[in-house]
Structure 1
Amino acid sequence: MATTVETITQSLPTLSLRSNTGDGEAPSEEAYRYTHLLPFFSADTYPPLTPFEHVDPAARALTHPNPRSFLDNATSVVELTPRLGTEVRGVNLARLDSTGRDQLALEVARRGLVIFRDQQEFIDSSPEFYLEWGRHFGRLHVHPTSGHPEGFPELHLVYKDANTTFNYELDDSITPTVWHSDVSYELQPPGLTTFFLLAQPTTGGDTLFTSQVSTLKKLSPQFVAFLRTLKAVHSGIEQANFSRTGKRGGVVRRDPVENVHPVVRRHPVTGEEALFVNRQFTRRIVGLKKEESENILNFLFDHIDKSGDNQTRLKWSPNTVAIWDNRVTAHSAILDYGESKERRHGARITPQAERPIPALEGLELVDE
C-alpha cells in the first residue's frame, strides 16, 4: 500500500525475548525462531481505505459437487460445540489449492470457527506466503495502530512478554475480557480471518469465541424484528487514542473512522442472520436517545458475555491455526498469563469482506 509521507523509521522499544521453551530456560534473542516476525513500528501514514467489491470465495464452493472434499483426508473432524467450532487434524493448510481454500471459506462461514492442529508447515512459511494466503479471501487490511513484521504491514501482530506488551489491553476493569469483531469500525470489516501463535505461555492465553448467529436466535422473534430495524455506530477513535498516549507502540497510521452498520446483518453466502454489535467498538444506536441506546446495547453486550451455551474456548497448542468468520462470530483473548512472564506472540491475516448487509431489506445505512 502506498504511503502518503516519506517513510520514517521509529525504533522498536527494547524487547525481552524470553520465550517459553517448556524447560524453564530463557533463550537469547538469536535463539528465538521468529525474530523476523517481531512487532515493528514505523511512522508511515496511510490514506483512508477506499470501498471495493468483495467476491466471497465461499460462494464458488457452493457449486462444487462435494463442498467438504478438502476434509476427505482428515484424520479427525470434531465439532467442538453444536453451535460453533470444528477442530480438524490431518489437513495441511499450506498445501490447499484454490478449490480447497474456497471450500474452507464455506466451512468456516457455516461453522463460524475451524481450528486446524499440526500446522507447522503453514506457520513456518514466509510472510510472503501469509499474504498470498490471505489475498485469496479478500483485500488485506492494514491495521492503523498495531505492530507488524518489518516490511509487512498487512500482518497484524499481538505480542506480550515479561517486560513489554503491544496489545490493546485495558486494565481499568475487573476483567480484561472484551468481546469484539475485529476492526468492526471499518466500512468493510473483515470476513474470513486466520490467526496463529508463534509463542505461547505454558498455560493460559486461551481465546474465547461466540456465535453471533446463535446469540441472535436466543432472542424473541418480536425483539429480533425490532433489532433488524436498527443500525449502530462502530468507532475506532478510542483505539487510536489509546495508541496516541504512547501505548501499543504509539503510532496511528490512518485517521480513525466511525461507520454505521446494521445491528443484525445477513451473511452473503449462507444467508444466516447474525447479531452485529460488540462491546469494544459499538458506541450507539442511530436515532435513539442516549438512554434508549445504552439500555439496548448493554442488554445485548451482557447477552453476548453471559451466553456460555453459544461459546467455545480455544486452548492453544503449538502449530495451531484458527480460522473464523468475523461476520458471524465475536471473540476475546484471555489475559490470565501475565504473572508467568512468558511470551505470547501471534500473527493475524485479516482480509476485508463486504460492507455488512442488513438483514432487513431496504435499511439505509446512513447516520441520522
Structure 2
Amino acid sequence: MTTLGNINYDEAIHFHNDSDSKSNTGILTVSKDNLSKTEFPEWAPTWDIKHDHTFKDIEPFKHIDRGFSGDPEFKSLKNIDGASFKKVSPKLGLAIDGIQLSKLNDQQKNDLALLVAQYGVIAFRNQDFKHQSFDEIKDWGKYFGPLHVHPTSGAPLNHPEFHLVYRRGSEEEQKKHFKDKLHNIAWHSDVSYENQPPAFTLFSMLQTGESGGDTQFLDMFEVYDRLSPLMKDKIDDLQVLHTSKDQAYFAKLSGGIERKDPSNSIHPLVRYHPVLKRKCLFINKSFSRKILGLKTEESDDLLIFLLNHIESCLDAHVRLNWDENTVVVWDNRRVLHTATTDWDSSDIRHAFRVTTIGERPIRNQQEYENWTPEQEKEKIRLTDYLTNLSAADYYEKVINI
C-alpha cells in the first residue's frame, strides 16, 4: 500500500550499524560514548545475535482480564493514605500520586487493571519501579498476562521480555527524524500485528531531559463514537491485515536482529472491549495494511479516511509529560499513542516497557464468549489464504456464505 505515506521507523528501539557497537561475543549494543552517559547501564539496550529467529509466536490461549475482578469503587486504591487522583481530561487519562506500583497486592492490581481500562491511560508519579530487580518487575507484569517479547527492539542483556526505548545523545539522530518528513507523529497500538496483541502496558522512564519528549494518547472509543451510525454499520464487520514485515525490514537494514519471523494477523476493524463492553476503532498507520474484501483503491481510500479522522481528533487526546520517576500504564486495546519529537538537545532519553499479552481482538461479546484456542489455530492457518483472495473471491467465499 503506497498511498498511505511513509511507514514510521523508530530509531529509538533499533540497532544503528553506523553508530552503535558489536562485542566479540556477538552482542550488539550502543556505543561506548553513549554507554558512559547512561545512568542505568544495566538497562542498556542489547541485541543478542543468538536470539535471531529463535522465538516463536505464543500459542493461542484464553486471556482472562484482571479487570473483571476489579472493584468498580476502587476502594483498595483510594483508601491508600496520601493517594491523590486527578483527571487529565474528562474522558481520558488520570494522574496518580501517593501509590507505589511495586507495592500493590493482588486485589489492588485487579483494581488497577479496571481503573486503567476505564481511564485508558494513567500516569503514576514518584515511583520506585525502576529500582526493582529485573525478575521482580517481570513477576509483577506476569500477574496481568504472559509477557510479550518484541521481535526487533533492544532489551537488557539476557532479559528479552523488556522493550527498551533509547534515544541517543546525538544531534544527528534528531536531524534524521525530519530529513524526509514534516513531522514525526506516528499514532499506533503496540505490535498490533500479533495474533493476540498486548492489553496491559507499563512504560517506566529511566533517564530523560528537563522537558520535551512527551507521549500523546488518543481515545479510540471516542474516535469510533464520532462516526455516523451509517458509517459504523458499514465498517463494523470489516477485517484488516496487520503486519510486522516493514518493521522487520528496517531492523535488519540497520544491522539489527529479528527474534522471530515477521507476523501477519487479521483483526477486526472495529474491536470490542470485553471488560468495558464498548467498541473502538482498531487500526494504525504503522502496522495496518489492507481491508480484506476490498480492491486496492477502495481499501486505501477507506483506510486513509479513517487514519485522517484519527489524526484530526486532537480533541480526543491527552499529552503526558515525563520525569525520571514517572511510570505510565495504558490499555493498548483502547488507546493509540505516539512519541513527541520536540527537543534538539543532546540528552539521552531511556525507558523500558513491560507488555502483557491480551485476548484475541474480537467484534462482539458473543464472539468473545465462543472463542476457543482450537478454533483460533484454524483461523491462523487461513491467514495467508484469506489475505490473498481477490475481492470477488473474498465476497463469495467469506461474506456470502
Residues 135-177 of structure 1: CA distance to partner in whole angstroms, max 9, x if unpaired?
Answer: 0111101000000000110000000122497xx9785321111
Residue 72 to residue 360, structure 1, CA distance change in 2 (3 Å): closer
Secondary structure in 2 aligned to 1:180? coil
Secondary structure in 2 aligned to 1:202? coil
Counterpart residue number, 2:277: 271
Q: Which amino acid aligns with 1:59?
A: F
In the TM superposition, residue 204 of structure 1 has moved relative to its aligned partner by 1.1
The 1-side partners of 2:185 and 2:241 are apart by: 21
Conservation of the 8 A alpha-carbon contact between 1:231 and 1:286: yes
Q: Which amino acid aligns with 2:257?
A: V
Q: How does 1:64-103 map to 2 (within 5 A)?
A: 64=71, 66-73=73-80, 74-103=82-111
Q: How does 1:114-153 map to 2 (within 5 A)?
A: 114-119=122-127, 121-153=128-160
Secondary structure in 2 aligned to 1:226? helix
Secondary structure in 1 aligned to 2:69? helix
Conservation of the 8 A alpha-carbon contact between 1:131 and 1:349: yes
RMSD of aligned alpha carbons? 2.3
In the TM superposition, residue 75 of structure 1 has moved relative to its aligned partner by 3.4
Residues 169-203 of structure 1: CA distance to partner in whole angstroms, max 9, x if unpaired?
Answer: 78532111100000000000000100011011222
Q: Which amino acid aligns with 2:61?
A: F
The 2-side partners of 1:353 and 1:255 are apart by: 20
Q: Which amino acid aligns with 2:314?
A: G
Residue 76 to residue 137, structure 1, CA distance change in 2 (3 Å): same
In the TM superposition, residue 105 of structure 1 has moved relative to its aligned partner by 0.4
The 2-side partners of 1:334 and 1:15 are apart by: 27
Secondary structure in 2 aligned to 1:357? coil
Residues 306-354 of structure 1: CA distance to partner in whole angstroms, max 9, x if unpaired?
Answer: 11111000111220010000001000001222x2011000100010101
Q: In structure 2, list runs of 5 or more residues that go unmatched.
A: 1-24, 369-375, 387-393, 395-401
Secondary structure in 2 aligned to 1:188? coil
Residues 53-75 of structure 1: CA distance to partner in whole angstroms, max 9, x if unpaired?
Answer: 212111111xx474343122253
The 2-side partners of 1:190 and 1:102 are apart by: 17
The 2-side partners of 1:223 and 1:322 are apart by: 33
Q: Which amino acid aligns with 1:57?
A: R
In the TM superposition, residue 361 of structure 1 has moved relative to its aligned partner by 5.5
Q: Is residue 32 of structure 2 the alignment partner of residue 10 of structure 1?
A: no
Counterpart residue number, 1:291: 297
Q: Which amino acid aligns with 1:246?
A: S
Residue 157 to residue 275, structure 1, CA distance change in 2 (3 Å): same
Q: TM-score, normalised by structure 2?
A: 0.81
Which of 55, 60, 63 is residue 51 of structure 1 equivalent to? 60
Conservation of the 8 A alpha-carbon contact between 2:215 and 2:340: yes
Q: In structure 1, list runs of 5 or more residues that go unmatched.
A: 1-7, 19-27
Residue 65 to residue 317, structure 1, CA distance change in 2 (3 Å): closer
Q: How does 1:119-268 map to 2 (within 5 A)?
A: 119=127, 121-163=128-170, 172-246=180-254, 250-268=256-274
Q: How does 1:294-309 map to 2 (within 5 A)?
A: 294-309=300-315
The 2-side partners of 1:71 and 1:245 are apart by: 49
Q: Which amino acid aligns with 2:249?
A: N
Sequence identity percentage: 37
Conservation of the 8 A alpha-carbon contact between 2:39 and 2:207: no
Normalized per residue, the structure richer in helix is: 2
Counterpart residue number, 1:333: 339
Q: Which amino acid aligns with 1:83?
A: K
In the TM superposition, residue 267 of structure 1 has moved relative to its aligned partner by 0.9
Q: Is residue 326 of structure 2 the alignment partner of residue 320 of structure 1?
A: yes
Conservation of the 8 A alpha-carbon contact between 1:12 and 1:40: yes
Secondary structure in 2 aligned to 1:340? coil
The 2-side partners of 1:322 and 1:251 are apart by: 28
Q: Which amino acid aligns with 1:349?
A: V
Q: TM-score, normalised by structure 1?
A: 0.88
